[in-house]
Amino acid sequence: MNSSAARDRGSARVRPGRRAALVSTAVGTVAAGMVLALATAASAGTTLATSAAEKGRYFGTAVAANKLSDSTYVGILNREFNMVTPENEMKWDATEPSQGQFNYTNADRIVSHAQANGMRVRGHALAWHLQQPGWAQNLSGSALRSAMVNHVTQVATHYKGKIHSWDVVNEAFADGGNGARRDSNLQRTGNDWIEVAFRTARAADPGAKLCYNDYNTDGQNAKSNAVYAMVSDFKARGVPIDCVGFQSHFNSASPVPGDYQANLQRFANLGLDVQITELDIEGSGTAQANSYATVVKACLAVSRCTGISVWGIRDTDSWRASGTPLLFDGNGNKKAAYTATLDALNGGTTPPTSTPPTTVPPTTTPPTTPPPGAGCTASLSLQTWTGGFVATVRVTAGSSGTNGWAATVTLPSGTAVTNAWNAQGSGTTGTVRFANVAYNGRLTAGQSTEFGFQGAGTPPSGTPSCTAS
Ligand code: 9MR
């Protein structure tokens, strides 16, 4: 029995009802107004990843390594998501089954799949009271503290440069309204165990964002207030923390709180990112769809809410399968909740999936020189440490928008790119050209997207050049 299961006790299970049928728009006669509407909608994405990317967010899912041989599962994964969280494969019991003996086989499979398909990885989780190997459960005091530090160092080092965000510490606060830390073997090593884990993770992988992750912190309550106080203290004392994850496991007994957005915003106001990390909402039909839309809109309304991950792909993949809490049914079909999620990501303008009109717009000869303000611009921000850096490049479309773009960065002599995300790099040294990937090439006028890369050596300076197509 774990705390998650305990959390479920007493929650009324919503029986899966009949899913709302997906409504497809029939295109009949093609009126001029319809053509205009389609042209407007064309800037909206048609998958969760593309639509989220157009809003500068990622859209992710938990992935189980043993499902990577399921073609339906992988088909949806590759089409819809650009962030993956190993559901169990990076946990302590999986990665260090015997003390000092590390096994990355299943986690590496997920990371390889992500890298081969242009997705990023949320690491989950370095220090947690659950899913500890037996040998760790039996340790205490300084022996356990040393084992934890070694575990964080080894795992974060193994995945250095490959992780977008790490859940460094998971679920360290108690339920029950008094805002206390959860009692656990890790907590009993001393109250500073959390900051020690964060400092250790930063030293091992300075390029990863470091998150605190928890459940039942989605609205303002005693537990989220306690996390807020800890994070405020960490920021004040310079303990390295970059993000807070809100798991967002919802059901009828624990629905999306009315102050969800306000709670995300107050954490963002502390000067860190917020992420929705394990979203699932039990239910069906319109009610479930509306709840998903509420969550997406809340994230989009908080500029530092950088992404949303659902906790599985199909209902049958869920740890709470009987609650049908996900976006795809057991056959891999899109549910009403999917459509509502995509629609919310698109700001209410999901493009029609029906056949486009056959009317061909008049062709015009493109101008040989771009009009003023066309093209794109790029800006660079850096996170540096001795011997390396992470660069984030923001690409902004000019007045014509883009169908594709490329940003060029000139690296100092001796510096090399070791890893890039959300863009395809050509070369690793000297002048490196980063072109858009499938989901972020199309930008409307003034719209921005970000890509990043990690480098070894001296960081670049100056403004990257940008060309649009
Ligand atoms: O989805 C995970 C499930 O397969 C495991 O059996 C379970 C064991 O604790 O953990 C589940 O994932 C949890 C996540 O790691 C942390 N937040 C709560 C999730 C659901 O329990």
pLDDT (0 to 100) of residue 389: 79
Q: What is the pLDDT of residue 43?
A: 55
Cis peptide before 125 (omega within 30 of 0): yes
Q: Which of 4, 137, 171, 218 to mutate to test the pocket of ligand 1 (most atoms within 8 A of CB)?
A: 4
Closest ligand 1 atom to 130 CA: 9
Q: Which residues are catalytic?
A: 171, 278
Kindly write down the DSSP assignment for every residue of 375-405, as one continuous string.
SEEEEEEEEEETTEEEEEEEEEE-TT-BS-E
pLDDT greater than 50 at residue 146? yes
**Token pair in block for residue 298:** 């809340």
Percent of the chain at pLDDT exceeding 70: 85
The pLDDT value given to residue 450: 79
pLDDT category at 138 given cuts 50, 70, 90 is very high
User: pLDDT category, 24, cuts 50, 70, 90?
Assistant: very low
Residue 2, ligand 1, Cβ within 6 A: yes
Amino acid letter for position 160? K
Half-sphere exposure (Cβ direction) of 103: Cα atoms closer than 13 Å: 12
Check residue 330 and report its DSSP letter.
Answer: T
Average predicted confidence (pLDDT) for the chain: 87
| Interacting residues of 49 by C-beta distance below 8 A, sequence separation 6+ | 58, 59, 80, 81, 82, 439
Per-residue pLDDT reduced to its tens digit, 96-108: 999 999 999 999 9
Pair 282, 275: CB distance under 8 Å: no
What's the pLDDT tens digit per position in 407-420? Answer: 999 999 999 998 77
Least confident of 152-166, 228-242, 372-386: 372-386
Asked if the model's pLDDT at residue 165 lies above 60, the reply is: yes
In this prediction, residue 9 has a pLDDT band, given cuts at 50, 70 and 90, of: very low
CB of residue 130 inside a 6 A radius of ligand 1: yes
- Residue 70, judged by CB atoms within 10 A of its CB (0-12, 13-18, 19+), counts as middle
Angle at which helices 336-345 and 285-301 cross, to 10°: 20
How many other C-beta atoms are found inside a 10 Å radius of the C-beta of residue 102?
Answer: 14
Distance 325 CA to ligand 1 centre (A): 14
d(CA 268, CA 300): 13
Contact 311, 321 (CB under 8 A): no
DSSP 217-229: -SSSSHHHHHHHH
As a whole number, mean pLDDT of residues 143-152 equals 98
- Whole-prediction pTM value? 0.72
Give, as one character, the DSSP assignment of residue 321.
G
Looking at ligand 1, which atom is closest to the CA of residue 311? 1
Distance of CA 436 to the CA centre of its chain: 19
Q: Give the C-alpha separation, 123 to 211, whole Å.
A: 10
Q: Please say if the pLDDT value at position 7 is more than 80.
A: no
3-state secondary structure 232-283: HHHHHHCCCCCEEEECCEEECCECCCCCHHHHHHHHHCCCCEEEEEEEEECC
**8 Å CB contact between 268 and 303:** yes
What order do you get walking across the sheet with 416-421 strand by strand? 376-385, 388-397, 448-456, 416-421
Residue 114 has pLDDT above 70, yes or no: yes
Q: What 3-state class would DSSP assign to 216? A: coil
Q: What is the mean pLDDT of residues 221-245?
A: 98
Q: What is the DSSP letter of 189?
A: G
pLDDT at residue number 34: 41
Nearest alpha carbon, ligand 1 atom 10:
88
State the pLDDT confidence band at 349, using cuts at 50, 70 and 90: low
Q: How would you class 433 by CB atoms within 10 Å of its CB: exposed for 0-12, middle for 13-18, buried for 19 or more?
A: middle
Cβ–ligand 1 distance for 319 under 6 Å, the answer yes
Tokens found for residue 335? 């549910």
Judge whether residue 37 has pLDDT over 90: no
| Ligand 1 nearest atom to the CA of residue 318, by list position | 1
The pair phi, psi for residue 312, each rounded to 5°, is 125, 165
C-alpha span between 169 and 178 (Å, rounded): 20
Could you tell me if 154 and 126 are in contact, meaning their C-beta atoms sit under 8 angstroms apart?
Answer: no
| pLDDT-based confidence at residue 354 (cuts at 50, 70, 90) | very low
Q: Count CA atoms within 13 Å of residue 355 on its CB side.
A: 7
For residue 87, how far is its CA from the centre of ligand 1 (angstroms)? 7
Mean pLDDT, range 356-372, rounded to an integer: 44
pLDDT of residue 232: 98
Per-residue pLDDT of 248-280, as tens digits, reads: 999 999 999 999 999 999 999 999 999 999 999
Instruction: Give 252's contacts (C-beta < 8 A, 6+ positions apart).
Output: 11, 12, 14, 282, 283
CA angle in degrees (0–180, nearest 5) for 275-276-280: 170
Q: How far is Cα 241 from Cα 375, in angstroms, rounded to an integer? A: 36
- pLDDT above 60 (res 235): yes
Q: Please, are residues 189 and 142 in contact by the beta-carbon 8 Å criterion?
A: yes
Q: What is the pLDDT of residue 180?
A: 96
Query: For the residues 349-361, what does the mean pLDDT come to?
Result: 45
Q: What is the pLDDT of residue 446?
A: 87
Top-confidence residue, 178 or 35: 178
Residues 439 and 51: their CA atoms lie apart, in Å, by: 8
Q: What is the pLDDT of residue 357?
A: 41
DSSP letters of 47-104?
Answer: SHHHHHHHTT-EEEEEE-GGGTT-HHHHHHHHHH-SEEEESSTTSHHHH-SBTTB---
Q: Is the dihedral of CA 45, 245, 118, 453 positive or negative?
A: positive
Q: Using the predicted structure, report yes or no on whether residue 36 has a pLDDT greater than 80.
A: no
Angle between helices 193-204 and 141-158 (to 10 degrees): 30
Mean pLDDT of 192-199: 98
